[in-house]
Amino acid sequence: MQETHQYLATVPFDIYELHLLQLVAAHGSFTKAAAAAGLTQSAITRQVQGVEARLGLALFERTTRQVVVTDAGAFLLKEGARLIGDVDSVLQQLRARFSDVAKEVRLGVSKTISFSHLPGIVAAQRKRCPDVGLRVMHESSEVLLSKLDGNAIDVAVLCPPRRLPPSLRVVHRFSDVFELIVPPDLLPPSTSPDKKPAQWNEWLRSQSWLLIHEGSETGARLRSWMKRRGWPGAVVTELDSFDLIVNLVSLGQGVSLVPQRTLALYARRRRVQRFVMGDRFTRELVVLTRRNPKPPAHVLEFVENVLF
C-alpha cells in the first residue's frame, strides 16, 4: 500500500491536467483552451509546461500562430482519452445506481445518417424509457469511433469501417437501401431503368451528380458501386448530408443516389422523381458499443429499442 501511495504522489500528471492537455490540443491555442477551462492563459501554460517537465517530453510545438501536438502528445492524448472516458463512465454509473441523478445514453450518429433515420433509432426509446435522458452527437464516423473507443459516448450508429477497432463490438445491424432521385422537371428516359438499362446508363452519365463525400465509408463504397456501372457524369458536387442533397436535387441542381429512408421527410415538401434500380446500392449500418467495460443496463435497453 505504501508503494502505491508513493507512486500516486509522483505521477507526472493527474486527470485534471490530462483534461487541460486535451483542451489545448482541441483548440490549438493556449488562450482558447484557457477560456474554455475558466483559467488565465498563463495558468494553463504553467500546467502544461509542468507536465512536460515531469515527463521529460515535449507534448506541443508552439509557433506564433498555433499550437501543434507532437507525436508524443498525440500518443498520450489518444491513450488518455480512454482513461478520462472510463472515469466519466464510472461516475455516471455510480450516480445512476446510488443517487437520484437521471440515467442518460450518450449517442453518436454518423453525419451520413439523415434526419429521417432518427425516429427509428430513438422514438421507441423515448416512449418506453421516458426517464432516461438522451444526448446526441452528430459527427463523422471517424470521430464517433474515437469517441466510443475513448468512452466519451455509449453507443454509435454508423456505416462500419472495413476494420473495426478490437475494443468495439457490433450489437445490431440493419440494411439501408438507396434510390435514384432526379429533379421534378428533368425528363429521364420514358422507360423504366430495368427495361432499358443501357439507355438509362447513357442518360445518367450525362447528368450532374450530387454525392455524399468520398471521405466517408458510405461515400467510398457508393463510388465503388457506381464505378462498376460506368457512372457518374463529368460534374460531381460533394456534400456531407443526404438531407441537403435531396433539397438540392428538388431545386434542379443534379441527380443523386440517397437512402430510401431519407425520402420519408420529403413526401409533402419539394418533390423529386424517384426510381428504383434493379441492381440497387445497399449499405450496412451498425450499432456499436464498447466491449469493456460492459455497457450498463439502460444502454443495452436502448440498443434493444432500435426499431430497424
Give the span between the Cα atoms of 216 and 145, in whole angstroms.
13
CATH of the domain at 37: 1.10.10.10
What is the tally of structural domains in the chain?
Answer: 3
Q: Same domain for 158 and 212?
A: no
Q: Are residues 37 and 167 in the same domain?
A: no
Do 145 and 292 belong together in one domain?
A: yes
203-222: pLDDT as tens digits: 888 899 999 999 999 999 99
Residue 171 lies in a domain: yes
Query: Is pLDDT at 179 greater than 90 in this prediction?
Result: yes
Report the CATH number that the domain containing residue 117 is assigned in CATH: 3.40.190.10
pLDDT tens-place string over residues 106-133: 999 999 998 889 999 999 998 999 989 9
Per the CB < 8 A criterion, the answer to whether 63 and 30 are in contact is no
Q: At 165, is the pLDDT very low, low, confident or very high (cuts 50, 70, 90)?
A: confident
Task: Check whether residue 182 and residue 170 sit in a common domain.
Answer: no
pLDDT in tens, 261-281: 999 877 655 589 998 877 899
127 in the same domain as 268: no
Strand partners, 62: 67
- Rounded-to-integer distance, Cα 248 and Cα 272, Å: 10
Lowest mean pLDDT among 190-194, 214-218, 253-257: 190-194
pLDDT at 282 over 50: yes
pLDDT score at 33: 85
E strands, the chain, in order: 60-62, 67-69, 104-110, 133-139, 155-158, 168-182, 209-212, 236-239, 256-259, 273-275, 282-290
Flag whether 204 is in a domain.
yes
| 95 inside domain | no
pLDDT at 12: 73
Contact status, residue 179 vs residue 282, Cβ threshold 8 Å: no
Are 142 and 289 within one domain?
yes
Distances (CA, A) of 18 to 51, 79, 92, 196, 240: 9, 11, 19, 62, 32
Q: Identify whether residues 125 and 201 lie together within a single domain.
A: no
Domain membership of residue 86 (yes or no) is no
How does pLDDT run across 55-108, given as a tens digit for each residue? 888 888 887 778 888 998 888 888 777 777 677 767 666 666 666 667 889 999
With a CB cutoff of 8 Å and minimum separation 6, the contacts of 242 are 112, 114, 212, 258, 259, 262
Q: For position 5, what pLDDT does the model report?
A: 52
CB–CB of 305/129 below 8 Å? yes
Same-domain check for residues 298 and 158: yes
> Rounded mean pLDDT of the chain?
85
Indicate yes or no: pTM above 0.85: no
Same domain, 216 and 235: yes
158 in any annotated domain: yes
Q: Is residue 266 part of a domain?
A: yes
The three grid cell numbers given for residue 29, joined into one nine-digit string: 491555442
Q: How far apart are CA 177 and CA 277, in angstroms?
A: 11
Range of the domain at 185: 177-282
Does 150 share its domain with 294? yes
Which one-letter DSSP state was computed for residue 11?
-
Q: Render pLDDT for 127-160 as a digit per residue (tens, 0 to 9).
A: 999 989 999 999 999 889 988 887 889 999 999 9
